[in-house]
Every structure is written in C-alpha cells, then in structure tokens.
Structure 1
Amino acid sequence: MMENKGIYALLDCHQDVFSRYFCGEGVPDWIAEKLGDATVKAFPFPVAPNMTREPDTGYPKLDECLKHPFFQYYLTEAVLHGFKMLYTNGNGTLDSFASFWQTVANTFANRSSVLGYELLNEPSVPELAEVIETGDVDRIYLAPMYKKLHEVIRQVDDKHIIFFEPCVADLFQTGLEEGPGGIDYNDRQAFSYHVYCIDVTKQGDPKSDLICDIDDALLISLRYEEAKKKKFGGMMLTEFGAISNSTEGVKELHRITGLADEFFQSWSYWQFKKYQDLTTAARPATTESFYTEDGELEMNKVKALSRSYAQAIAGQPSFMFFEPISSTFELDFIVNTDIKQPTIIYINEDLNYPHGNVINISPTNSLTWISTERNYYEFSTTTSTKNGTIITIKITPKTLNWFKRTWNWLKMKIYFWNK
C-alpha cells in the first residue's frame, strides 16, 4: 500500500526510558527482567518514591508515572543499568539486539518503500559520570555497538540506509568520528539528530522566540558542521516538533523547517498520531499529533509542514527557500548538463496555491517545465543551457484580479443573505 502511494517508512527502533517497567517503552519485558528483580523493583530510585505496581504485569501504574516528566526517569539507577547492559552486551543483550536488527533487515531488504533503519532512538547514558565528558558515551559505547549492528545488517541487506544517532546528552558535539560502516558506506548511512527548543511550555510551545531562534539555529548548524567535517555520509533531522496547534507552535515549525531548508536537510515531524504513547500521555493528544481527540485534523500544523521543496536537483544546490506566509519558493542551483533526469519540485497546490501559481526561471529559456501530476513540476535543461550555469526557479501564488475578487465577495454575500 505504501509503495503504491509513494510513502517511505524509516524503521526506527524507538525507545523512551528503556522499558514499560520504568514508565517508558522500548525493549521487550524479558530484556528488562535480565537486570534482576531487585533492580527492576527499585525503580524509580533515586528520582521519586516507590510506585504502586499493577498486580498482573508488575508495571508501575501509569497515573503515578505521569506525575513526573518522563525524562527524569533516565536518571534512575534501573534505566542507567539497562543502557549499560545493552551497550556492554550484559546477559547477551546486545547479541539479542543484533539478532533483532538482522531479522528486521532480512524481512525488509527488498522493500523499496523502506527508507532505511534507525538503529536506536535517543540512546541515553549508562553512567551519570559520563554525562560530564561530552562524547564519552558515543566513543566508548555507541560507536562499537553501531559497528556491530551495521555488520549483521549488511550480511542480509547491503542497500538500505543505516541511520545512527548520538547520545541524547551530547547536545553540541558528539564523540562519533565516522559512520558505523566507515567511509565506504557513506552513500548508505546517515547521521540522525533531533532538535527541540529548550525553553517551552507544558504544551511544547516556545516561551521566547528569541531563545528558540538562537537554540534551534545553533543546534542545526553545529550538527551540520560536525557531520560535514567528519564525513558522516548523509544526515537527516529525524525528529522535531511535538507542539500544539497554537500560533507559537506553528512559528516554531516555520523556524525549524526554514533552517532545514537553509542546510538542505530532510526532516520528519514528531508525531503523526498519539497511538497511546506512554511518555506523552500526560499531555492532551492534540499537543503533539496532527489530530484532535475527536479525530479532526489540526490544519495549522498541516499547512505549516506542507512546504514547497525540491525533491531532485540536476546539479549542485546553493539556495532553497520557502516563505510560508506568502508561499513564495525559490531554488538556486549550479546546473550539471550531464544529468539527464529533471529537477523535480513539489508544491501543495490546494493549501499554498489555491488560485494557481506563477513560475519564473532565470536565465530565461534555460529550462523548460511540465506538470503531468498534480503538485509536481519537472524542469529540464534546454539545448542552449551551458554546464555550470547558475539557475533560479521561483514559484509564487497567482493572485486573483480585482474583478474575480469582487465577484467572489458578492457570491459570498448573496449566499449568506439567502441563509
């Protein structure tokens, strides 16, 4: 079904706080139980008092879990020990994790609708002391683990992209020196990172535009410069958002997606639907997802994320910009005439160009364009276009002329008068 609709899936081993035994989600129960009964039952020491457990599962009761922000539970001894056990192969845990990933890769190796495999979401610290020295968790634990996972995946799938993420505590500089496959796999591996403003309300919305402007720009630029310097391969902003449908939330979406365009970054928003996510259950479902409690789409978010962008570029891009208020889009690139495939630009005609659009190309006659499918435009070089030419494509909304605006206004008035 996804393949038929042109939808790609990033298979993400998603965890938050390691296990349901620790007010989170992630590893199977039998993995957490390898920590031992004493460690499991000691949770949430030393962050909070002991919690009441459900008699049939042994899980902490959800209403008690939700009394504290979920990220605090990363500091409990049980969660710290859980990550240490995984990273160091305690009780064969890493071997089991590798077997899991090999099974997943073997299952999806030939699926064109799979973008790739993200090895572990937001890996955390195994010891509090290792938060102090930035990059230690990456160097000592994650890099060897990622290499092992890469090796077992590549035994059954040598084509899909492997996404690797630094320790969640390494906000500004990681300890990773290369991708898990080394430089030979830079066309099939990607550095994954997340961006969230640090100064937000309980709904995830920015308190201060100034602080979030600085914070978002700093995080994305630092990640970009590090990946470029260390030659990580590709990179992708695999998580951001988690905001409400408010004006401030939408401004944050505009801010981050604009920065992503500036650095030519692909991105994915968190989250599509709540899906009973434990670690965000303290918030209303509308806080992070596209849907209200009644199942209605939150169109402010949808429109904010429905941006014009280039899906393929026949050359080297130098500038891409979408202004969400006016729906003005611009792409500048140095054309490579040896590339015979077209430059492809996606626009959302219903949301951003309801009355049509105007396309301007500079230099004039350097490109021709066609649109055989709604929302998609293909641009191809002409015989007169010289290799290395700097080309600009600009798309703006077509505005209604005075007569049409007046006629539409009259029709609306007549409709309401008749009501």
Structure 2
Amino acid sequence: MIMHGVNAVYKTYPFDFNPVAGSSNSLTPSDAAEMASLGFDVVRLGIVWEGLEPGSTEDYAEPATAADDNSKAICTEGLVNGAGTAGPGGSDSQYNQSTLQAYVTAVRATVDLLASYGIYSLVDMHQDVYNAHFAGEGAPDWAVCTNGLPPTNTGNWSANYFTPAVGVAFDHFWDNDVVGGLQQNYDAVWHQVASALAGDPGVVGYDVFNEPFSSEIGTVAGNAAFDAKLECFYTGTSTPGEQAQTHAPLLCPPTDPAVGAIPSIESGDPNHLVFYEPDVGNDFGDANYIGPMPYPNLVLGFHDYCLASAGQAYFDFYGSPACSGPEQTVMQQESAARASAATRYQPGGPAWFMSEFGAGEDTTDLTRVAGLANANLLGWTYWQWKQYEDPTGGSTEALLRSDGSVDPVKAAVIVQPYAQAVAGTPTSMSYDPSTHHYSLTFIPDPTVAAPTVVFVPVNSFYDVYRSGYCATVSGGTSTTAGDKVLIAADPTARAVTVTITPGTCLG
C-alpha cells in the first residue's frame, strides 16, 4: 500500500479546523473533495499539545509572553513525583478533561469528514521551536522551563532554535528533570488522544513528535547522544530499545517515565500505526541513530528537505544545485536506519513514510524528491495543503492558493498516477512529469484476490489524462473504473508491468 497526500496543520489557536469556508483554519467538504480528485488518500493532520492541555492560566486573547513560563511548581529541577504535578491527577494540575475532550471531538469531526471522501488521517502532534514565545508552536506555556532565560526572537523562526532559552527548554523536556514531569504529561495526553480515536477507521496512525530538536545535534557524537535520549523518550525505561550500531540494550536515564510515548499510545490504541521520527538533523542528511524498539505497528516517518544556506528559514532555499546530494542522502540514511531497526515484531524493519517534503514551488526540487520517493517505493505527504497562517513555514508552501485554486506549478509534479494498492510486492515505480509516463512493476501474490489499483488523475484541473490515457499491462489484464486502473495478474505471471501514458492506445 502506497499513500500520497498532504499535510494540514493549523499551528495557532484554536489549533484545529473549521468545516465552514472563509475562515483562516477552514478544511471543508470542498477541500476534501479536491484532495480526493487529486488522488490524495491521506492527510497528516496536525494536533498541538497546547490545544490539548493549555493550562489554567492561558489566555489566547493576549499576545504570547513569557509570563506563564518557569513556574516553580513545574520547573523546579528534581525527580518527578508520581505522574507529575501538571498532568492528570497532579497536585498542580494544568489538565482539564473537558478541554481535551472538546479538542478531540473537533479532531474527530475532521477525521470523519476526510474519511467520507476516502482519505485517511495520520494524526500528528506538531511542534516547531517548542512554544509560541519562541515564534513557534507546540508546548503549552506552563511546560516552558528556561531557568529564567528570556526568549530571543531573531526575526527568523528557524534561527530561533539556536537561541539559549530554546535550547534549555528542549533540554528540560528531553532530560525530564523537572518536578512537573513534562514527558509524563505529554505521554498521558497522547494516551487520551489514542484512546479516543482507537475505534475510528479513518485514522491510519499517530506521529509522536514532529522534528525532534536538541542543541546537542550538529556533530556525529551529539546526534548519537541525542538520538539515545529520543529513543528513551519513545520507549520509556521499562522496555528500552537497543543502540543502533551495537544493538546493546539502551540505558535510559532514571528520570524518564517507565512507560514512554509509544507504549502510552499503543496502550490506548493497539491497532493503528505509530510513526516515530528521528531528530530534525535527519531532515537534511544527518545519520539516524534510533535503534530497534520492541513494539509492533511502527513506521519510520521522516522529512526530506535541503538546507542550502545556513541562517535562512527552512523553506526559502530552493533552486540550489547543492540540494541534490543531501536529499538523496536523506533517503539513503533512512533506508539504512530502517534495516537496522528490525525486531521480532518487524523482522524486515519498520515500514517507512516521507511525511514532509516540498514546501515550495521549485519544480526541480519537487521533481527530484518525488522521484526519489518513487524509486524507493515510498508514500508521502506534501507540506502543506493551505498556508494556514503558518508562523513557521515558507511563503510559497501551500498547494491550494488563497483564491481556492490548486497551484498548477506544484500540482504538475506531485499530482501523478501511483499504485494505491498492490496485489503483491512492488519492485519498481517511476513517473516522468515532463512526459506524464508512469510505470509500475510488481511480483504478484496469488493468494491476494483483490486487484492492484493504480490511480490516474483524470478529474484533475490540468488537461493531461482528461482526454484519455493508455494503460498497457504485461503479465496481466486491466480494466478502468473512473480514475482507477484495476490490474489482475495472469495466473502464471512471475512479474507484472503496468505503464500509463496520455492519449489513446494505438492499434
């Protein structure tokens, strides 16, 4: 199964979506219908910790300030008392069940809307630069512990990562060394979300933490040290994973929760997939040192971007010839990491998925990364559907323009035929956006009765396949059903090759 789709993340209050057109956070039935017509069958749907557990002092009518940071009841360094002071049942609780339930109800409404158009939701706990006080989003104000350091806004959100207060705030989260128990609270909220969505067939899985950052990354030793902390955050101390290189048991800090983020999610929902990300340096080609983790249903989720010029915002660097190597390196690094993360639950390693790429209109870059995904038989979600007043993105990231039309520059590359379901094992897949020729080869599985399904964008806004297309099959037969080509393998076929080209078949 290969999925194509988009991200939809609203990063500021109310941190969710409105099904009515005209609002800045709208995700409407018309949006879902447009997504489906483009062949998208998955949305990486953002949720934000601050929206789930804003705390008792948050006032969204006021500008973001540091007034609620560094609470002594939460940020005093020391061992966590039980579940922590700020979470469910804590002595200084910032948790409110009705607030969380109202948020999850809004999320479920969006999930169900998308599902009614055949689109799955990958529920993504999103953050960038930790908190709004750093020109980002994610953690609630009460969970910001900076040892009293004030926020510094450089005027460039991505550069803010490297300011002192941001580094300290992240360190306290990953070290889990304050009495408020930041990880315990994060994990408890995730458990509540997963429990609430466990029975929803429109959910494909959960993305635990977007683009994990630490001031340690930037060197090989630093990346490895932080990835060990990150793996412990995912697992907890009671069932730790293994080191990536030696496969020795990972020794997790005693301050970490016994039950980490992944088992917290899986205890609430044992059936849906759990997507874990390596540290944010992996987005640009750093090595992935996350080792095997002893849980089922895992997917290695990663992003593929090029940081061509230091000091620029992530998404304003397109057109650089320096991007080709790093973007290919990302694929190679994640492929190697996936193989080394094999467990008894997943002997071949976890599945993998490119949950972000693009975020701009440079067709050279989009073509290159989408081509790498095809070559690696990878599904993906483009960043992102609309601009959504994104405080930590780029000005040209939206696929749907402000007038409601699809951006033809981006869509000409990423709206393409692809195999939505394969009755066997795919061995190669390619698409040439200059000729609109698509090819798929797979080894059929005779035990699978369902056909292989290839989407063709016949209803798309641009006139490529609308006037007709030719589906040629070697080793099988094909029939068409709307925007789908259904392929049945011949009983004796060892391999099946499908090609899609614009225009009618000759002869």
Same fold (TM > 0.5):
yes
Partner Cα separation in structure 2 for residue 193 and residue 272 of structure 1: 18
Q: Does the 8 Å CA contact 2:453/2:485 hold for their aligned counterparts? A: yes
Q: Does the 8 Å CA contact 1:235/1:265 hold for their aligned counterparts? A: yes
Written as runs of structure 1 = structure 2, the 5 A alignment for 1:363-378 is 366-372=475-481, 374-378=482-486
Shift of 1:267: 0.7
Q: Does the 8 Å CA contact 2:162/2:215 hold for their aligned counterparts? A: no
Shift of 1:129: 8.5
Q: Which of 398, 401, 407 is equivalent to 2:503?
A: 398
Q: Does the 8 Å CA contact 1:330/1:394 hold for their aligned counterparts? A: yes
> Normalising by structure 2, what TM-score?
0.66
Shift of 1:24: 1.1
Q: Which of 116, 131, 149 is equivalent to 1:4?
A: 116
**What does residue 130 of structure 2 align with?**
18
Q: Does the 8 Å CA contact 2:292/2:340 hold for their aligned counterparts? A: no
Structure 1 counterpart of 2:336, one-letter code: E
1:228 equivalent in alignment to 2:335: no
Q: Which of 177, 193, 196 is equivalent to 2:305?
A: 196
Partner Cα separation in structure 1 for residue 391 and residue 400 of structure 2: 17
Partner Cα separation in structure 2 for residue 155 and residue 208 of structure 1: 45
Partner Cα separation in structure 2 for residue 216 and residue 129 of structure 1: 17
1:381 equivalent in alignment to 2:489: yes
> In structure 2, the residue corresponding to 1:349 is in which secondary structure?
coil
Comparing 155-164 and 80-89, the one that deviates more = 80-89
> Normalising by structure 1, what TM-score?
0.79
**What does residue 307 of structure 1 align with?**
416
Written as runs of structure 1 = structure 2, the 5 A alignment for 1:14-413 is 14-32=126-144, 34-35=145-146, 38-39=148-149, 42-44=150-152, 65=153, 68-89=155-176, 90=178, 91-127=180-216, 132-139=221-228, 141-147=229-235, 148-170=260-282, 171-179=285-293, 182=294, 185=296, 188-199=297-308, 204=316, 206-209=318-321, 211-231=322-342, 232-244=349-361, 249-280=362-393, 283-284=394-395, 287-350=396-459, 351=462, 352-362=464-474, 366-372=475-481, 374-382=482-490, 385-386=491-492, 389-398=494-503
Structure 1 counterpart of 2:123, one-letter code: L
Structure 1 counterpart of 2:360, one-letter code: I
> In structure 1, the residue corresponding to 2:181 is in which secondary structure?
helix
> In structure 2, the residue corresponding to 1:235 is in which secondary structure?
strand
Partner Cα separation in structure 1 for residue 287 and residue 217 of structure 2: 18
| Residues 1:154 and 1:357: Cα distance change in structure 2 (over 3 Å) | same
Shift of 1:132: 4.8
| Residues 1:4 and 1:154: Cα distance change in structure 2 (over 3 Å) | same
Partner Cα separation in structure 1 for residue 299 and residue 134 of structure 2: 30
Higher RCO (C-alpha under 8 Å, 6+ residues apart): 2
Structure 1 counterpart of 2:291, one-letter code: E
Show structure 2 runs of 5+ residues with no match: 1-112, 236-259, 343-348
Q: How many residue pairs align between the two structures?
A: 354
**What does residue 47 of structure 1 align with?**
none
Q: Does the 8 Å CA contact 2:218/2:281 hold for their aligned counterparts? A: no
How big is each residue's C-alpha offset from its partner over 1:185-222, in whole Å with a ceiling of 9 and x where there is no partner? 1xx1111111112226876353334x222222122122
Show structure 1 runs of 5+ residues with no match: 45-64, 402-419
Structure 1 counterpart of 2:370, one-letter code: T
Structure 2 counterpart of 1:72, one-letter code: A
| Residues 1:239 and 1:69: Cα distance change in structure 2 (over 3 Å) | same
CA RMSD of the aligned region, Å? 2.2
How big is each residue's C-alpha offset from its partner over 1:336-371, in whole Å with a ceiling of 9 and x where there is no partner? 212212111111014431211112111xxx322222
| Residues 1:127 and 1:223: Cα distance change in structure 2 (over 3 Å) | closer
How big is each residue's C-alpha offset from its partner over 1:284-310, in whole Å with a ceiling of 9 and x where there is no partner? 3xx111234444431221232111111
Q: Does the 8 Å CA contact 1:309/1:345 hold for their aligned counterparts? A: yes
Partner Cα separation in structure 1 for residue 319 and residue 465 of structure 2: 32
| Residues 1:131 and 1:82: Cα distance change in structure 2 (over 3 Å) | farther
Structure 2 counterpart of 1:256, one-letter code: V
Shift of 1:127: 4.3
Comparing 10-19 and 192-201, the one that deviates more = 192-201
Q: Does the 8 Å CA contact 1:370/1:379 hold for their aligned counterparts? A: yes
Q: Does the 8 Å CA contact 1:83/1:124 hold for their aligned counterparts? A: yes
Q: Does the 8 Å CA contact 2:366/2:414 hold for their aligned counterparts? A: yes
Partner Cα separation in structure 2 for residue 237 and residue 223 of structure 1: 10
Q: Does the 8 Å CA contact 1:130/1:137 hold for their aligned counterparts? A: no
> In structure 2, the residue corresponding to 1:5 is in which secondary structure?
coil
Shift of 1:229: 3.3
Partner Cα separation in structure 2 for residue 87 and residue 126 of structure 1: 11
Task: Report percent identity of matched pairs.
Answer: 27
More helix by share: 1
- Structure 1 or 2, whichever has the larger Rg, is 1
Shift of 1:400: 10
> In structure 2, the residue corresponding to 1:330 is in which secondary structure?
strand
